[in-house]
Amino acid sequence: MGTHNHTHNFSERFYFTGKPKSWSLIAIVIGVLAIAYGFLTNHAERTFANLLLMGYYFTCVCAAGLFFCAVQYMAQAGWSAGLLRIPQAFAKVLPIAALILIIICASGLFTHNLYHHWHSEEAAHDPVIIGKSSFLNVPFFLTRLVVFLGAYCIFGYFLTKYSNNEDLEGGMKNYNKSFALSAAFLVVFGFTTPIWAFDTIMSLEAHWFSTMFGWYNFAAMWVSGLSAITITVILLKRSGHLTWINDNHLHDLGKFMFAFSIFWTYVWFSQFLLIYYANMPEETVYFYKRWEPEYKPWFWLNIIINFVSPVLILMTRDAKRKEGMLLFVAILLLCGHWLDYYMMIMPGTVASERTFGIVEIGTAIGFVGLFSFLMLNALSKKSLVPVNHPFLDESLHHHI
């Protein structure tokens, strides 16, 4: 209270050099080698499933960064102003992530490694698939993917641009523009993310459907995005940056992760309970596949990592204010949501030939490296704080 003497160096920049850069590049090389290994050892379908998993995860985390910015503008939140540059960096990576996802989906589609449930010779004579074909056909599928992801990228571009202009010009003009743009973005995002999830993931098992699936994917996206933001904030803080971020900001991020882990469980369970209770064969097939011996342990582990552990670890106030604890939980949640996506994708693609080996680990490492490389590169382009953000002072004195 009453500390109006700013001792923070706002002109300080993050320079993307040294260890973070070399480790990111090494991770990318590992990823490329693992993918090449997968294709060369005749595991094309499995490699494509992994590429889809990580491509989708990567795009989701970047989109969640953009969503975070939009939510903060829309709520006119003050606490987050000091760390807004990090989700903005996520949003800047979104175009590349989206491009990679579109390439993976399109090539998987045309080489019949993905989506052959509704895109193959047999599917053409399947009455269920024919019934869905006015929506689920190749041109419309690709158009939707490109239009949705393109729209997110455009919103992301303008939102970061307004923040840049704000740094240079000051005043409320850019903030007001960001506010209006965020409102429009949230409407578009809210209506399109479920369809995006239906297209990319749910159509892997095109006979099955669940109206909860879109929100289930949204919850997974939001939790993993928040975890990625928390990890980035903590690691930057540990390397001596972001001196203005204190326990109170971390506490808020912790609350976010805690609350939305419960939200994820809520949606996951709603989907499960409806299918379990109605007990209709065309719906229960989804959980039968995930109840097979090769998936059952992972099915339970998914719930333990993504629900039980954040609830038990982050329940107390003190745990949310401890940097190390928060970092641990955030990393755990990121791994947990990898498993979550794994459970969504694998039974519908490689099915009983499920494996966990070089391709899975390598692809994941590669995409993590790609993400950290692109994101930190985007972060190093601007100062680490939006200096003319109207709520910056509130963020500096954030206290809960």
Minimum CB distance to another protein smaller for 263 or for 272: 272
Q: What are phi and psi of 13, to 5 degrees?
A: -115, 160
- In the complex, what is the shortest distance from the CB of residue 279 to another protein, in angstroms, rounded to a whole number? 6
Minimum CB distance to another protein smaller for 296 or for 317: 317
Query: Binding to another protein by residue 139, rule CB under 8 A?
Result: no
- In the complex, what is the shortest distance from the CB of residue 349 to another protein, in angstroms, rounded to a whole number? 27
Read off the tokens for 183: 């409102």
Q: Which residue of 276, 288, 291, 356 would you call a contact of another protein, by CB under 8 A?
A: 276
Binding to another protein in span 280-339, by CB under 8 A: 317
- Residue 321 and residue 251 in contact, taking contact as beta carbons nearer than 8 Å: yes
Query: Binding to another protein by residue 125, rule CB under 8 A?
Result: no
Q: What are phi and psi of 330, to 5 degrees?
A: -65, -40
Minimum CB distance to another protein smaller for 37 or for 269: 269
Work out the widest C-alpha separation in the chain, in whole angstroms. 73
- In the complex, what is the shortest distance from the CB of residue 315 to another protein, in angstroms, rounded to a whole number? 8
Binding to another protein in span 245-264, by CB under 8 A: none
Minimum CB distance to another protein smaller for 59 or for 265: 265
Query: Binding to another protein by residue 5, rule CB under 8 A?
Result: no
Using CB under 8 A, which of the segments 23-31, 33-41, 157-165, 274-282 binds another protein? 274-282
Q: What is 305-357 written as a DSSP string? A: IIIIHHHHHS-SHHHHT-HHHHHHHHHHHHHHHHHHHHHHHHHHHTGGG---S
Minimum CB distance to another protein smaller for 36 or for 400: 400
In the chain, DSSP finds a helix count (H) and a strand count (E) of 15, 0
- Residue 320 and residue 250 in contact, taking contact as beta carbons nearer than 8 Å: yes
Minimum CB distance to another protein smaller for 129 or for 314: 314
Query: Binding to another protein by residue 273, rule CB under 8 A?
Result: yes
Query: Binding to another protein by residue 272, rule CB under 8 A?
Result: yes
List the one residue out of 128, 141, 126 whose CA is nearest residue 283.
128
Q: Which residue of 18, 121, 279, 297 would you call a contact of another protein, by CB under 8 A?
A: 279
Q: How far apart are CA 20 and CA 372, in angstroms?
A: 8
List the one residue out of 93, 28, 30, 35 whose CA is nearest residue 60.
93
Read off the tokens for 6: 């700013």
Residues that bind another protein (CB under 8 A): 1-2, 269, 272-273, 276-277, 279, 317, 399
